[in-house]
Amino acid sequence: MDSLKRNFGLRVRELRKSAHMTQEQLAEKLGMDTPNVCRMENGTHFPQTKNLVKLAEILNVEIKELFEYAHLQSKSELVKKINSFLKTATLKDAELVYKFIKGLKEYKN
């Protein structure tokens, strides 16, 4: 259940940002406190069924789209693999990986 809540929260955050909405704005529209939205996005709180329907309406998506987070799981799995590699890498290799990622990010911007 924890990975479900975590992935659901990441998906809600992604959809909220796509809708150009702050946590405060989403909380107001849902009729809940901002900390509850924060906990939901952090994966420590899962909304009640009635709020799932309302959340989907506010974000202008179907309920099933709230649970479409395979693309997020792929990224999190990749991050785990990179972290696992870095734990056993030499300092020199870790620095090389860091410089590569940093350079790639700067190139894309």
Per-residue pLDDT, 99: 93
CA distances from 86 to 1, 41, 66, 82, 89 (A): 28, 27, 33, 6, 5
- Tell me: pLDDT of 82 over 70: yes
Q: Provide the pLDDT for residue 107.
A: 84
The string of pLDDT tens digits covering residues 12-68 is 999 999 999 999 999 999 999 999 999 999 999 999 999 999 999 999 999 999 999
| Mean pLDDT calculated for residue range 78-100 | 92
pLDDT the model gives residue 32: 95
**Domain 2-67: CATH architecture, name and number where available:** Orthogonal Bundle (1.10)
Q: Cα(first)–Cα(last) distance of the chain, in Å?
A: 36
Phi, psi values for residue 3, rounded to 5°:
-70, -35
Domain ranges for the chain = 2-67, 70-108
What was the pLDDT predicted at 71? 81
What integer pLDDT is reported at residue 1 of this predicted model?
Answer: 53
